[in-house]
């Protein structure tokens, strides 16, 4: 074969090869071809999460020993400590950046659809299916993480089972006596803080510094001490983190958030200072696997009570007093005002500051939406009273009060 003949033959082969490649590229891509994507296996996390949640609901033993005290506890300690290495709230960064990223990706998705329609390309169905698959994969991962790091823990055994407390109906007299005890305790601690100069020029409780890291370490120490009495609280977890945009949290009437996707306890540090230690205790209780709001409040009170730090003791006493006094007012307003007479003037200054602070955010559009969402979230997790379940800690406080009296006697 002559050279020019061989050259023509190779040219024709290359030509037909290129034509074949171009035809394959233009071949319509059917939407069901998306099923060949490896990432489709991520969707199996949705039924897995739902099955796990169902098993936890019907069998608290599974929720308690397989997850809360097993899988969850081991993973939560590791990942919360890892998140603690980052000096800022990862949750806050996610809340700010992820919606922006989601908007960009959604606009890109729409642009690809519009361009396919304009160019009359045949892979439109594939592009739509591809975008929906990506969204479903993100949802399945988020759902699975939520169930493992939060949802299951709503169905574990009650903290009362580990505290040895007997929750039962109580008389108004018992409620009154508990109010008196808490009021006297809070007043005594507040008087001591006054003598130590732990207040600002307006006579309101103040920290010696705004080093939230130090305060977070104090909260961790308080949990370690409380764990000596309540071993179920044992564990090494990350410390709470201050939120930079805390003022916006106040507009939503939120004092703290446990974020299961980063295993962080996030704290609103713009609120009145005497309430912050108790908020830390509350969110750290969630991090330790106690998701019910009434129990998280009660654990926060116990932890603050066991702390060596007077500010924590005062914060816990004021948290408990706020709930039992509200309940007493509903039952007998005359007895309520008798208890108020026991408040020290320094306590009243703190309460007045707290009232003025939160009053500015009441009944705003943001706070109304936030409360509605929070109420829906609580009810979705079988806390049938919704936001009202926060007040159920009164029963636990009464049980603890009775137990402490029996120990004295």
Compute the distance between CA of residue 155 and CA of residue 176 in angstroms, rounded to an integer: 32
Domain match, 250 and 275 both: yes
Domain match, 170 and 298 both: yes
Domain match, 150 and 164 both: no
For residues 94-120, average pLDDT = 87
Q: What is the count of structural domains for the chain?
A: 2
9 falls within a domain: no
Whether the Cβ atoms of residue 87 and residue 185 lie closer than 8 Å to each other: no
pLDDT, residue 199, reads 86
Apex CA 154: angle with CA 217 and CA 286, to 5°? 10
360 falls within a domain: yes
Residue 27 neighbours by CB distance under 10 Å: 10
128 in helix, strand or coil?
helix
Q: Is the pLDDT of residue 270 over 60?
A: yes
Domain match, 183 and 293 both: yes
Whether the Cβ atoms of residue 147 and residue 52 lie closer than 8 Å to each other: yes
Domain match, 355 and 242 both: yes
pLDDT, residue 389, reads 39
265 in helix, strand or coil?
strand
For residues 144-154, average pLDDT = 96
Task: Please list the residues that pair with 256 across neighbouring strands.
Answer: 267
For residues 41-57, average pLDDT = 95
Domain match, 147 and 177 both: no
Q: Is the pLDDT of residue 23 over 50?
A: no
| Percent of the chain at pLDDT exceeding 70 | 82
Per residue in 112-133, pLDDT (tens digit) is 888 877 776 666 777 787 788 8
Compute the distance between CA of residue 377 and CA of residue 385 in angstroms, rounded to an integer: 11
218 falls within a domain: yes
Six-digit token string for 132? 């929906």
Tell me 34's DSSP state: G
Compute the distance between CA of residue 207 and CA of residue 198 in angstroms, rounded to an integer: 6
Domain match, 199 and 74 both: no
Six-digit token string for 190? 């507040």
Residue 381 pLDDT level (bands cut at 50, 70, 90): low
Domain match, 55 and 184 both: no
Cβ within 8 Å of residue 7, ≥6 positions away: none
Q: Which of 102, 121, 155 is the last residue of a domain?
A: 155
pLDDT, residue 383, reads 54
Whether the Cβ atoms of residue 154 and residue 382 lie closer than 8 Å to each other: yes
Tell which wins on pLDDT, 15 or 243.
Answer: 243
Six-digit token string for 255? 């004092």
How would you class 248 by CB atoms within 10 Å of its CB: exposed for 0-12, middle for 13-18, buried for 19 or more? middle
Report residue 118 CA to chain centroid gap: 45
What DSSP string describes 167-231? -----HHHHHHHHHHHHHHHHHHHHHHHHTT-B-TTS-B--S---HHHHHHHHHHHHHHHHHH-G
Residue 338 neighbours by CB distance under 10 Å: 15
Whether the Cβ atoms of residue 236 and residue 77 lie closer than 8 Å to each other: yes
Domain match, 165 and 150 both: no
Helix axes 310-331, 172-195, angle to 10 degrees: 150
Q: Is the pLDDT of residue 373 over 50?
A: no
Per residue in 182-240, pLDDT (tens digit) is 999 999 999 999 988 888 888 898 876 677 888 999 999 999 999 999 999 999 999 99
249 falls within a domain: yes
Compute the distance between CA of residue 185 and CA of residue 169 in angstroms, rounded to an integer: 24
Lowest mean pLDDT among 44-58, 148-162, 193-207, 323-337: 193-207
Q: Which of 94, 128, 155 is the last residue of a domain?
A: 155
Domain that holds residue 139: 26-155
Residue 196 neighbours by CB distance under 10 Å: 11
Q: Which of 300-323 are b and which e, b meaning 16 or more Cβ less than 10 Å from the residue's Cβ?
A: bbbbbbbbeeebbbbbbbbbbbbb
Domain match, 200 and 96 both: no
Domain match, 35 and 180 both: no
Q: Is the pLDDT of residue 263 over 50?
A: yes
Whether the Cβ atoms of residue 264 and residue 90 lie closer than 8 Å to each other: yes
Whether the Cβ atoms of residue 243 and residue 267 lie closer than 8 Å to each other: yes
pLDDT, residue 102, reads 92
50 in helix, strand or coil?
helix
pLDDT, residue 405, reads 75
Domain match, 171 and 133 both: no
What DSSP string describes 282-337? HHHHHHTT---HHHHHHHHHHHHHH-S-HHHHHHHHHHHHHHHHHHHHHH-HHHHH
16 falls within a domain: no
Tell which wins on pLDDT, 347 or 160.
Answer: 347
Per residue in 388-407, pLDDT (tens digit) is 434 578 989 998 998 887 65
Tell which wins on pLDDT, 369 or 246.
Answer: 246
pLDDT, residue 318, reads 95
Six-digit token string for 138? 């993100």
Residue 17 pLDDT level (bands cut at 50, 70, 90): low
pLDDT, residue 305, reads 95
256 in helix, strand or coil?
strand
Q: Which of 123, 155, 187 is the last residue of a domain?
A: 155
For residues 252-276, average pLDDT = 94
11 falls within a domain: no
Six-digit token string for 218? 């104090």
| Model confidence, pTM | 0.85
136 falls within a domain: yes
244 falls within a domain: yes
As a whole number, the mean pLDDT across the chain is 84
């Amino acid at each position: 074969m002559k050279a020019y003949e061989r050259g023509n033959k190779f040219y024709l082969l290359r030509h037909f090869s290129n034509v074949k490649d171009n035809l394959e590229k233009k071949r319509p891509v059917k939407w069901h071809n998306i099923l060949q994507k490896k990432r489709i296996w991520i969707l199996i996390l949705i039924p897995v999460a739902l099955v796990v949640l169902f098993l936890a609901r019907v069998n608290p033993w599974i929720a308690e020993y397989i997850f809360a005290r097993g899988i969850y506890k081991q993973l939560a300690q590791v990942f919360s400590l890892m998140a603690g290495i980052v000096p800022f709230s990862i949750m806050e960064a996610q809340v700010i950046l992820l919606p922006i990223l989601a908007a960009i990706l959604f606009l890109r998705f729409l642009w690809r659809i519009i361009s396919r329609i304009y160019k009359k390309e045949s892979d439109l169905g594939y592009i739509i299916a591809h975008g929906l698959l990506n969204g479903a994969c993100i949802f399945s991962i988020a759902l699975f993480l939520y169930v493992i790091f939060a949802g299951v823990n709503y169905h574990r055994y009650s903290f009362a089972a580990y505290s040895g407390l007997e929750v039962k109906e109580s008389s108004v007299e018992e409620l009154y006596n508990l109010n008196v005890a808490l009021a006297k305790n809070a007043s005594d601690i507040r008087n001591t803080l006054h003598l130590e100069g732990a207040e600002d020029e307006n006579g309101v409780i103040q920290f010696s510094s705004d080093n939230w890291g130090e305060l977070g370490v104090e909260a961790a120490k308080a949990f370690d001490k409380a764990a000596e009495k309540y071993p179920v609280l044992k564990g090494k977890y990350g410390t709470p983190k201050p939120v930079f945009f805390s003022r916006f949290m106040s507009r939503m009437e939120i004092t703290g958030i446990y974020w299961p996707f980063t295993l962080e306890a996030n704290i609103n540090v713009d609120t009145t200072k005497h309430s912050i230690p108790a908020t830390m205790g509350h969110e750290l209780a969630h991090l330790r696997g106690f998701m019910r709001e009434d129990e998280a409040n009660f654990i926060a009170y116990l932890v603050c009570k066991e702390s060596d730090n007077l500010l924590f003791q005062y914060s816990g006493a004021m948290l408990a007093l706020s709930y039992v006094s509200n309940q007493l007012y509903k039952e007998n307003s005359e007895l309520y005002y008798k208890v108020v007479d026991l408040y020290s003037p320094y306590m009243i200054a703190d309460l007045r500051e707290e009232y003025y602070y939160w009053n500015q955010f009441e009944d705003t559009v943001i706070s109304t939406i936030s409360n509605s969402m929070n109420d829906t979230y609580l009810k979705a997790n079988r806390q049938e009273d919704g936001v009202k379940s926060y007040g159920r800690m009164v029963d636990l406080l009464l049980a603890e009060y009775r137990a402490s009296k029996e120990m004295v006697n």
